[in-house]
Structure 1
Amino acid sequence: MNISTKPLRTAVALFAVGTLLLTGCKKDPVEINPTGTTTASNGYVDNWILANMRYAYYWADKIPARPDTTLAPDDFFDSILYKYNATTNPKGDRFSWIQESSADLTALLNGQTTTSGMEFDLLLRTQGSTDVVGVVIYVLPGSPADKAGFKRNDVFYSVNGTALNTTNAGIAYGSGTLTFGLATVQNGALTNTTTTRVVTPVVFQENPVFKDSVYVIGDRKIGYLMYNQFVPGPNGSTTRTYDNQVNTVFGKFKTQGVNELVLDLRYNGGGDVQSSTNLASLIVKGLNGQARVPFVRKEFNPQLTTDILNDPQGGNDFFYNYFSSPANNIGGQLSRLYVLTTDRTASASELIINGLRPFMTVNTVGSTSAGKNVGSFTITDDNNASNLWGMQPIAFRSYNKNNESDYWTGFTPTVTVDEPYGALYPLGDTRDALLAGAISHIRGLTTGGRVGRVNQQTVVGSSLSRKQGGSVIKLPQTVSQKLLNQ
């Protein structure tokens, strides 16, 4: 059952060669502002793909010796991947992707998109039905959806007068003016109403620092931060505005004597590795003044490894992100960390879990994370203006200080909690199911296992599928040049 409007070839722009991305989990993203089509021939594009993949792909030695370069570029790219298979190749590639147009991805990876500001999941209305409803999971402050009055837990059943079903529900992702027909939930029953809300998507910069709070429960002071994308600053900015905002939040946590911490990464599909390192450095405990302690180590294919080692701007340190020693670190006040997770928790979010586990207990609450222990370059063609294709092949695998990386299937939660669609409390409310699960564990009321009911709804799509995490690291000069010359 597929209600996404496009496979993974749709229009979002790509970073120029010379950046490294640790992207979020791929979930059949929908079309976002397509701009332009390539005029380069299939043969040219396919050979460009092949040359770059043989150089940069993590599994370069698995590429077929004589692939068919007459295929359409997206089909060709797919044909040379070392594909994941749950039974025969569980550590294969789930995340490499290619797109024909390259207009919007740079902005997207910096939190700027054309959006109504309303993120939602699409569910079967009832089991066995083809009718679909949307449930709002969060709304960006100041966005058109916020101004229209949308809030978490709102339910809609129609868009522009058309009732949603498994065939047409992609219209909910539309970019024009959208009129949503609302439904109400009372005593578990869903009822359509005549109430409508109208939104028109705009270009909007999302602040990933969504909410922070401190809760005092008995002798516990619980710091809470909901962080939805690892982005250092607004698109086009050279300042790390959002990283600085995170630092300020931890300054408040430190001043207020927080002794428990809950990171809400349930919708965070990844982001800038340096922003992830910054956040981890505010939390880590036990460094005791040590310098150059690894947060993450990156492993590339043998050819890339050799070239990076030999590059004057590369060398051995390029493979590592080290913890820093920020003044607002609260590790000395903590004995453990709680991370709220779902299958949207991916990439740089999972680096937080894996990278901090050598230093402290990290409990996860929610559902199993995505299992993305790999990252990707974004590669575009600077040699041929008619080739607008861009690709993000998996190019490296991530390890923590103890050389641990085996979370291909995700991190299984310490406490399993479902988000109860139709009964969602505001994010940051202590009645929210995932936050309540963490607080119960903090108070010793549960030692793990499943808390609450099992969701009966079937999720068939999500607006979050449009969002790609990205981590930006400059490549050494020689390596960048080799990519340019492929």
Structure 2
Amino acid sequence: MKILKPLMLIFFVSLLTTSCFEDNDDNQISTNEINDFVWKGMNLFYLYKDNVPDLANDKFSSDEAYASYLNSFSTPEDLFESLIYQRTTVDKFSWIVDDYIALEQSFSGISTSNGMEFTLFLQPNSTTKLIGIVRLVLPNSDAETKGLVRGDIFNKVDNTELTIDNYNSLLSRSSYTLSFANYNTNGTTENTDDTIEPLNKTITLNKLEYNENPIFKSEILTVNGENVGYLMYNGFTANYDTQLNNVFGNFKNNNVKHLVLDLRYNPGGSVNSAILLASMITGQFNNEVFSTEEWNSEFQAAFEQENPELLINRFKNTLDGNLINSLNLSKVYVIALESSASASELIINSLDPYIDVIHIGENTAGKYQASTTLYDSEDFTREGANPNHTYAMQPLIFKSLNKVGKTDYDNGLTPDIDISESYLNLGIIGNENEKLLALALAEIEGSTTKTNKIKSENTRKLKPIEDSNSFNRFNNSMYLNKQLPASLLNKINFEQN
């Protein structure tokens, strides 16, 4: 007797419990109907499927056994988490959402934000109390309107002192009041006598729908008589690819000979946007291998048999049918910190075999896996999604390798020049005196004296705890919109044992 793979087991509602959700139209849908979508999607796509026994194709001996398994999870979130491989060490980035509309808006650059980006640190001489330092204020946001500036320090939210235990709940609110403070070094180089002194200043911030342009700053500077392009790029957002190309058009028209790419706060985003950016930086490698993909064993085998080219991402020279603006550089200076993740790391890792990539900053986040959005439809795409709920999954589906096979950088990418921001003297983004940009310009100039002076500046050793990217569950993603061939999906879905 032939038995269909578990992916295609017939779903018997009569075997399931009656636990239900209500959608926006007050239609009830059973928990297990969503659980069925979760298991089937993970069984098909999940990168680490081979490492999760509950995702094995022969896990269930009958339809009844499968239904009983689904019935053992009270929520789709519980089932999803049970299928994640080593959540704290390997797969830190897969997630499930109950509102894919918000997810789609986030990928297009739309989110709810007050416009303040920040990093939280332990207060001096404390293991529980925190301070927040504003690292970026987004243009045309509530934070900018209220006068917040980069470098502002706050220690209370809604008149409650920030601590390890309460910061998440306090800063997740849609509206809150910040109380500001001054960091007093008391004129010494040691932290032991540092104090936090409250200021008589508060600001109330409101989170509103905000469409963030990832192109935060672009400038043209001059070093040794040659033009240097500077670009702070804060997210790989496909909706802004044309604007990004326009920036490089300006660089090209102004005969830019060097580029400083600032990805210090960039948590990632679209793989396609990363390919385009790398192609704009270079241009001389059109159609050569930018990166390759490694999927779970079933998908990998199917790709290799059906169409191996689908495992390769190549440099491009066009956008929407038009030639892109490329600088044909053989060297690029990339500012990247611990908060630089996924597609930001993909840029560094994939360009490295081709040109000289000078990484200035810190070890990056260490995310080399990509994900895709799975919907509850026959082929897991948006079209035909179950109208009775808005659950979607964003599981890891492949890991990226550069041309020479480098991947699995769990501890991040190591900088060529190890340096951190001066948190108590952040400087102005895009200004040639801002510490990290100044170092890049000194390297371009070839001034060892300037480089050593910047690196030797005393930086207060503060302990980072968290940054604002963590408050957006859709951040730190590297996602791919790839149309999988129907024949490939059918081969996996309908294969019989």
On whether the aligned pair clears a TM of 0.5, the verdict is yes
2:335–2:436 Cα contact (<8 Å) kept: yes
Aligned in 2, Cα 1:166/1:301: closer, same or farther, shift over 3 Å?
Answer: closer
User: Which residue is equivalent to 1:54?
Assistant: 43
Q: How many aligned residue pairs are there? A: 432
Shift of 1:120: 1.0
1:431 CA displacement: 2.5
How far residue 112 of structure 1 moved from its aligned partner, in angstroms, is 0.8
Q: Is the 8 A contact 1:123 1:134 kept in 2?
A: yes
- In the alignment, is the contact (CA less than 8 A) between 1:419 and 1:455 conserved in 2? no
2:71 corresponds to 1:79: no
The 3 A distance-change label for structure 1 pair 63 and 187 is closer
Contact 2:50 2:297 in 1 (8 A): no
After the TM superposition, which of the residue ranges 423-432 and 108-117 deviates more from structure 2? Answer: 423-432
> Aligned partners of 1:141, 1:377: CA distance in 2, in Å?
30
Distance in 1, matches of 2:331 and 2:144, equals 35
The residue type paired with residue 243 of structure 1 is D
1:471 and 2:479 equivalent?
yes
Higher relative contact order (CA 8 A, sep 6+): 1
Q: CA deviation at 1:321?
A: 2.4
For the residue of structure 2 that corresponds to 1:259, the secondary structure is strand
Aligned residue identity for 1:413: P
Residue 368 of structure 1, CA deviation: 0.6
Equivalent of residue 317 in structure 1, options 302, 309, 315: 309
Q: Which blocks of at least 5 consecutive residues in structure 2 are unaligned?
A: 1-23, 61-68, 187-194, 318-322, 378-384
Cα separation, partners in 2 of 1:388 and 1:451, compared to 1, 3 Å? farther
**1:457 equivalent among 462, 471, 477:** 462
Distance 2:331 2:122 in 1: 38
Find the residue that maps to 2:111 and give its secondary structure: strand
2:282–2:330 Cα contact (<8 Å) kept: no
**Alignment partners' CA distance in 1, 2:104 and 2:491:** 22
Structure 1 position 226 matched with structure 2 position 232: yes
Partner of 1:238 in structure 2?
none
How far residue 451 of structure 1 moved from its aligned partner, in angstroms, is: 5.4
Amino acid at match of 1:218: N
C-alpha deviation, 1:481, in angstroms: 7.4
**3-state DSSP class of the match of 1:203?**
strand
Amino acid at match of 1:64: P
Match of 1:264 in 2: 262
Residue of structure 1 equivalent to 2:15: none
Distance in 1 (alpha carbons) for counterparts of 2:434 and 2:299: 45
Greater displacement, 381-390 / 197-206: 381-390
Question: Using the alignment, how far apart are the partners of 1:445 and 1:407 within structure 2?
Answer: 31
Q: 2:425 aligns with which of 423, 437, 447?
A: 423
Residue equivalent to 1:379:
374
2:359 alignment counterpart: 364
**Structure 1 stretch 425-434 or stretch 301-310: which is displaced more?**
301-310
Cα deviation for residue 250 of structure 1 reads 1.5
Higher relative helix content = 2
Paired residue for 1:142? 140
Q: Is the 8 A contact 2:99 2:390 kept in 1?
A: yes
**Counterpart Cα distance in 2 of 1:485 and 1:204:** 43
Q: Cα–Cα, structure 1 residues 263 and 111, in superposed 2: closer, same or farther, change >3 Å?
A: same
Unaligned stretches of 5+ residues in structure 1: 1-34, 87-91, 234-241
Displacement, 1:43? 4.3
Tell me, yes or no, if the aligned pair for 1:416 and 1:451 is still in contact at 8 Å. no
- Deviation of 1:165 after TM superposition, in Å, equals 2.0
Question: TM-score, normalization: structure 1?
Answer: 0.80
- Check the 8 A contact 2:369/2:478 in 1, yes or no: no
C-alpha distance after superposition, 1:64-99 (max 9, x if no partner): 14596413433332333221676xxxxx33322223
Distance 1:301 1:362, change over 3 A: same
Deviation at 1:198, TM superposition (A): 2.1
Find 1:329's aligned residue among 321, 326, 337.
326
**Distance (Å, rounded) in 2 between the aligned partners of 1:119 and 1:36:** 36
Indicate if the aligned counterparts of 1:418 and 1:453 stay in contact, CA closer than 8 A. no
The answer (yes or no) to whether the contact 1:209–1:227 under 8 Å persists in 2 is yes
2:325 maps to a residue whose letter is: N
The letter for the 2-side match of 1:435 is L
Identity %: 32
Contact 2:280 2:325 in 1 (8 A): yes
Matched with 2:439 is 437
- Cα deviation 1:220-274 (Å, max 9, x = unaligned): 43211000001121xxxxxxxx212222221222222222211001111111122
Distance 1:136 1:79, change over 3 A: same
Moved more, 390-399 or 139-148: 390-399
Shift of 1:475: 1.9
Distance in 1 (CA, whole Å) between partners of 2:41 and 2:78 is 16
CA distance in 2, matches of 1:283, 1:429: 22
Q: For residues 224 and 387 of structure 1, do their structure 2 counterparts lie closer, same or farther at Cα, with a shift above 3 Å needed?
A: same
Matches within 5 A, 1:163-312: 163-185=161-183, 190-233=196-239, 242-284=240-282, 286-287=284-285, 291-308=286-303
Alignment-derived partner of residue 125 in structure 2: 127
Aligned equivalents of 2:26 and 2:401: distance in 1?
A: 38
Q: Distance in 1 between matches of 2:27 and 2:124?
A: 42
8 Å CA contact 1:173–1:463 kept in 2: the answer is no
Pick one of 343, 347, 369 that aligns with 1:348: 343
Could you say which structure has the larger radius of gyration?
2
Letter matched to residue 330 of structure 1:
L
Q: Give the 3 Å change call, closer, same or farther, for CA 480–422 of structure 1 in structure 2.
A: farther
What is the CA-CA distance between 1:131 and the residue it aligns to? 2.0
- Report the RMSD for the aligned CA atoms in angstroms: 3.1
Separation in structure 2 between the aligned mates of residue 203 and residue 401 of structure 1, nearest angstrom: 40
Q: 2:223·2:444 contact (CA, 8 Å) conserved in 1?
A: no
> Aligned ranges for residues 70-109 of structure 1 at < 5 Å?
70-72=72-74, 73-83=76-86, 92-109=90-107
Q: Is the 8 A contact 2:232 2:263 kept in 1?
A: yes
